[in-house]
Structure 1
Amino acid sequence: MTVHGHSSFAEWHRNGQHASYLRTMKSPGAILDILEIERPAGDMSRPALSDIVLMEDMLGCSRVRGDLGGGRFDVTTRRGTLAIAAPNFATTVINEKRHRLRTLAFPLAQWQHVLDEAADGRFSFDTSCIYGQVFDSWKIRSAVRNLWALCEEEGAPSRLLARAAGCEILAELCRLGGAPFAPAKGGLAPWAQRRCVELMHARLAEDLSLDELAAEAQLSPFHFARMFKQSLGAPPRVYLTRLRVEKACELLEQTDLPITQIAFEVGYSSNQVLARVFLKHMRMNPSDYRRAVREPTRSIA
């Protein structure tokens, strides 16, 4: 169903009245939409859309007043201030000065079950004390910053990254809203850990989703992500990146495949993306690594 001809927050900013204010958009396909918007002073109200929208003020926009779904507010914001706009609510926002927002839009159909799992069904935007308010959270700011940085390195976020980052942020929103998320239930069973790692190896070149890994372990995505980290010492996305870098090293050492082909083999869209990831983890680019392992004496000299 669309509202006023627009189906989502991202679509509204692509094609709606505010399209000219869109600076950057990164989307992994309806799981989580990541946008940066720069808007002038004035009335920036919009129609009801079926997304939960998290906004971070990147500049500090002086005075802002309106209603995001939790009642009227009139505040002076600072750089890093956060706010949540309600799904299916026509927001009212009037800004005193030009401002820039980094926003994450969570399609409600994709995320309602995650919120229910995170808080054992106790979370409700209607009763949450954070709903529609301006607030601060270093943990959420850090998660958004890290997500943005990864998008800059690797392009549009993978389904695994989008779901995992969304789970982390929504769990913190539950806690801040007065519905602490359910305690962790320990690590993965040995059989589940083995099957998930095998699946990662087998589908290294694919955009493997958190939901698929969770299904392999017979768990919900929210609980799986936390239990995986307890068992293997790293979140699923970080662990998958390690596997990809290890496989890239193996192919660089043992084959003459072009680096672009190696990038595709380990799940990256181009040799430039592989180079950025490889440099971050191995402290050298793939070409230099290949030379170093194949001509060690010459490299030492």
Structure 2
Amino acid sequence: MTSPAYASFAQWYEKGHLASYVRERKSAGGVLNLLEAEQPAGDVSDPAVPDFVLHQDINGGTRFRGDLGAGAFDVTSDKGGFFLAAPNFKNRIIAGSSHQVRSLAFPLSHWQSAFDEANVGQAVFDRPDVFRGTFHSPEIRSSIRRLWAICADEGVPSRLLARAAGYEIISHLCRLGGASLEPARGGLSPWAKRRCVDLMHARLSEDITLEELAAEAQLSPYHFARMFKQGLGVPPRVYLTQLRMEKACDLLEHTEMPVTEIALEVGYSSNQVLARVFLKNRRMSPTDYRRAVREPGRIQTQKQAIA
């Protein structure tokens, strides 16, 4: 191990010599940092940074040699395969060809307590047969894809969304590492579920945190995220979006509030963000929804005319 040369993985890819290869950044409020880069063949090593980093080779077929903190490897990547880089480790990696990589960094300043509780260091890096080189996880791949889409829709998503997505990925890493996670025991108790849902309703316009919800349930954030999904059927991030959509629909139907004000009322930074999320969840714009619920006959006539 060496002392960190940069304050974060994000800073390294802003100021280091690989910065010019970055094609897109998605920030989750500093809680998580995502980027996509098209990197050349040759030395693509990173300095020691206080971040726990997942790299995904988008296209596969590249030979990688090096050490990311779990031991030396020499592998040819598969499409969508992952590489895991240890925090505070000056890694070494040589790429045999140019490649497209998507990286997700967990800053230790935000995640150390979660890693300690989940026993990530021991459960993960003590399994070099899994994490020395490339590995696969459809669950992690799906989680990162959803997180990337959320960032594309919302810009900087809420801290609750970012933390909940992070806990999902941590849980999957632990399972891959052979950790035996305690069952969710049927989800939240009725009183905890009620208090959490009430708090989410009451503070829908605010950037409420997963830690605040977990405190209502008297659980650690790591276990709360798993038990919330077990008890309510969806992760906290999905449930929050559902509540926001329900509130937005109600305001569109029963008030004359401008769409910009409705966006702020339900916790989105602008009407453009609301429109993107609304289109994805309701298959129409907020304005079209308002017309549809108030003038259903007119909307149907317009659709028939178009057909």
Q: What is the TM-score normalised by the length of structure 2?
A: 0.91
In structure 2, the residue matched to 1:7 is 7
Matched ranges for 1:63-142 at <5 A: 63-118=63-118, 123-129=122-128, 130-142=130-142
In structure 2, the residue matched to 1:154 is 154
Give 2:71's aligned amino acid.
G
In structure 2, the residue matched to 1:195 is 195
Is 1:222 aligned to 2:216, yes or no? no
Aligned positions, number:
299
Q: Which runs of 5+ in 1 are unaligned?
A: none
Q: Distance in 2 between matches of 1:29 and 1:150?
A: 12
Q: Distance in 1 between matches of 2:124 and 2:243?
A: 39
Q: Distance in 2 between matches of 1:21 and 1:134?
A: 22
Q: Distance in 1 between matches of 2:186 and 2:118?
A: 15
SS at match of 1:229: helix
Q: Distance in 2 between matches of 1:272 and 1:14?
A: 27
In structure 1, the residue matched to 2:236 is 236
Residues 180-232 of structure 1 deviation map (CA, whole Å, 9 limit, x = unaligned): 32221322122211111111111111121111111111111111112112222
SS at match of 1:168: helix
Give 1:14's aligned amino acid.
E
**Conserved 8 A contact 1:252-1:290:** yes
**Conserved 8 A contact 2:8-2:49:** yes
In structure 1, the residue matched to 2:304 is none
Structure 1 position 112, deviation (Å): 3.0
Q: Distance in 2 between matches of 1:87 and 1:104?
A: 13
Distance 1:125 1:296, change over 3 A: closer
**Conserved 8 A contact 1:61-1:96:** no
Structure 1 position 300, deviation (Å): 4.3
Q: Say what the alpha-carbon RMSD is for the aligned residues.
A: 2.0
SS at match of 1:183: coil
Q: What is the TM-score normalised by the length of structure 1?
A: 0.93
Q: Which runs of 5+ in 2 are unaligned?
A: 302-307
In structure 1, the residue matched to 2:305 is none
**Conserved 8 A contact 2:53-2:104:** yes
In structure 1, the residue matched to 2:35 is 35
Structure 1 position 122, deviation (Å): 8.4
Is 1:290 aligned to 2:290, yes or no? yes
Distance 1:155 1:122, change over 3 A: closer
Q: Distance in 2 between matches of 1:98 and 1:71?
A: 23
* Higher share in helix: 2
Distance 1:2 1:44, change over 3 A: same
SS at match of 2:208: coil
**Conserved 8 A contact 1:118-1:182:** no
Give 1:128's aligned amino acid.
R
Structure 1 position 125, deviation (Å): 4.6
Q: Distance in 2 between matches of 1:298 and 1:126?
A: 61
Give 2:185's aligned amino acid.
K
Structure 1 position 105, deviation (Å): 0.5
Matched ranges for 1:246-265 at <5 A: 246-265=246-265
Structure 1 position 299, deviation (Å): 3.4
Residues 103-136 of structure 1 deviation map (CA, whole Å, 9 limit, x = unaligned): 11011232232233335x8844552333443111
**Conserved 8 A contact 2:165-2:237:** no
Is 1:52 aligned to 2:18, yes or no? no
Q: Distance in 1 between matches of 2:71 and 2:3?
A: 24
Give 1:240's aligned amino acid.
L
In structure 1, the residue matched to 2:281 is 281
Q: Distance in 2 between matches of 1:182 and 1:276?
A: 37
SS at match of 2:204: coil
SS at match of 2:10: helix
**Conserved 8 A contact 1:61-1:95:** no
**Conserved 8 A contact 1:115-1:123:** no
